[in-house]
Structure 1
Amino acid sequence: MKKKLTVLSGAGMSQESGLKTFRDMGGLWEQYDVTEVASPEAWERDPALVLRFYNQRRKQLFEVEPNAGHLGIARLEQWFDVDVVTQNVDNLHERAGSSRVLHLHGELIKARSTIDPVLVYELDHWALDLGDLCEKGSQLRPHIVWFGEAVTEIPKAVRIVEQADILVVIGTSLAVYPAAGLVNYVQKGTPIFVIDPGKPAVHQPNVFYVEEKAGKGVELLLEELKKLM
């Protein structure tokens, strides 16, 4: 039976594909603070502005490809039972071939109803505009967890981490909660591999650091994991 390997990935995972993070933007998009375009209050105040922000991010996503880190994580399924839990809203893990991906903060290529959150639609184009409606006649919004909204997938993520035989943390500063707290749910003795040039602190035993970006880091990770197969 394959060992269960769980990957927690953050913005650094996708940077090598050319996707800009909020940090890359310096907390600003054009002249706006990102919280002004990524919150329920922003949506109430100016939905057209919010849609334009996410349309630009979605357009960029359609123009980039998975990087070596994404491809390496997908390749791990040859030897391990892999779950990816990501803070990223892009679909690069899926496009690289990962078969089980849980998105904590929503998905950029999806839209949902503003009156019935169960109604979620996949987008095959980058533009979502005012006047695009769900089947119940309400405006569609980005399928994104905005600042101030509950991260409803956390309980599912906790269960995945609790079952892990190996935990891999890639490209996250472990500063954004509740996602950052997931590392505290590993079973005692579980090896934790942290891939990030910034070497974020993980206050757990059995932590092994790979101070590289995602692409090179996953390559080195595989060499270490071979020892555990």
Structure 2
Amino acid sequence: MPEKFARAKELIAGAKKILVFTGAGVSTGSGIPDYRGPDGAWLKREPVLYRDFVSSTRSKVEYWKYKADTFPAFLAAAPNAAHKAIAALEKTGRLLALVTQNIDNLHRAAGTHTDKLIELHGSGLYAECLDCLNWTSMAEALDKFKADGAPPLCSCGGWLKPAVVMFGEPLDQESLVKAFKAAEDCDLAISAGSSLSVEPAASIPLSAKAGGKPYLIINRGPTAHDKAADIKLDGDACLLLPELLA
């Protein structure tokens, strides 16, 4: 590990256009559990599929109950050292883009500018209307839901949906194109806190490797890309990433 760590530091020190790709393991240090982790929601609830949410009032209620249960802890979370280290990297002018699978808003809260940030799976702080596509705050939408237990409606009369990508829902194409362009233009790809098992998001850092760019993975446990990585550091991304970027 010390030798790998030193090599990883050298890779980062020599890079000028770094793509950072983050997953749930970057936010566990802020008290947000990994969805697929040992205490993850996948063990407690069946996921609501996008097609069911759109077509079924019962599924809408189930999903809004889940959001009502988890939102207080989500709202109370604060950026940890990993989020802050990436924001500090941006200030050096060497962060090309930050692509995240997380919906917790903690990269923004740490100071990452929106022109560098690509939130592939949306934002958990907002709800969007399925009809007019306007956004409202998640807190306001949840207040409506708690008032009568019915799925909340937009002022236009359309159904509100949390502004996150649900299971079975396609990702925003503009965000995907921007992310893959960053992978093409970077001179180093770093994946932190992701098992790299969810597609098409996981293909973003891998495409940088396919283009001949060095690929560094930081994750506790195996990932789907371990064999492709130039260096794989096995450990807590919340602890290792700040040390690497210091």
User: Normalised by the size of structure 1, how large is the TM-score?
Assistant: 0.84
Residues in 2 aligned to 1:126 and 1:44: alpha-carbon distance in whole angstroms: 19
What residue in structure 2 maps to residue 28 of structure 1? Answer: 43
Residues in 1 aligned to 2:231 and 2:171: alpha-carbon distance in whole angstroms: 28
Residues in 2 aligned to 1:110 and 1:192: alpha-carbon distance in whole angstroms: 33
Structure 1 counterpart of 2:110, one-letter code: A
After TM superposition, the structure 1 = structure 2 runs for residues 58-137 of structure 1, keeping only pairs within 5 Å, are 58-79=71-92, 80-99=94-113, 100-117=116-133, 119-123=134-138, 127=142, 129=145, 130=150, 132-137=152-157
How much has 1:56 moved relative to structure 2? 2.4
Structure 2 counterpart of 1:88, one-letter code: N
RMSD: 2.3
How much has 1:151 moved relative to structure 2? 1.2
Residues in 2 aligned to 1:38 and 1:60: alpha-carbon distance in whole angstroms: 23
How much has 1:125 moved relative to structure 2? 5.6
Deviations 1:114-155 (A, max 9, x none): 1133x2234456825246433422121111111111112322
1:160 counterpart = 2:182: yes
How much has 1:190 moved relative to structure 2? 1.7
More helix by share: 2
1:192 counterpart = 2:208: no
For residue 142 of structure 2, give the secondary structure of its aligned residue in structure 1.
coil
How much has 1:216 moved relative to structure 2? 1.8
Number of residue equivalences? 216
Change (3 A) 1:83 1:65: same
Instruction: Name stretches of at least 5 consecutive residues in structure 2 with no aligned partner.
Output: 1-14
Structure 2 counterpart of 1:181, one-letter code: S
Deviations 1:9-38 (A, max 9, x none): 111111111112222326233xx31x2x35
For residue 70 of structure 2, give the secondary structure of its aligned residue in structure 1.
helix
CA contact (8 A) 1:69 1:215 kept: yes
Q: 1:44 aligns with which of 55, 58, 79?
A: 55
User: Normalised by the size of structure 2, how large is the TM-score?
Assistant: 0.78
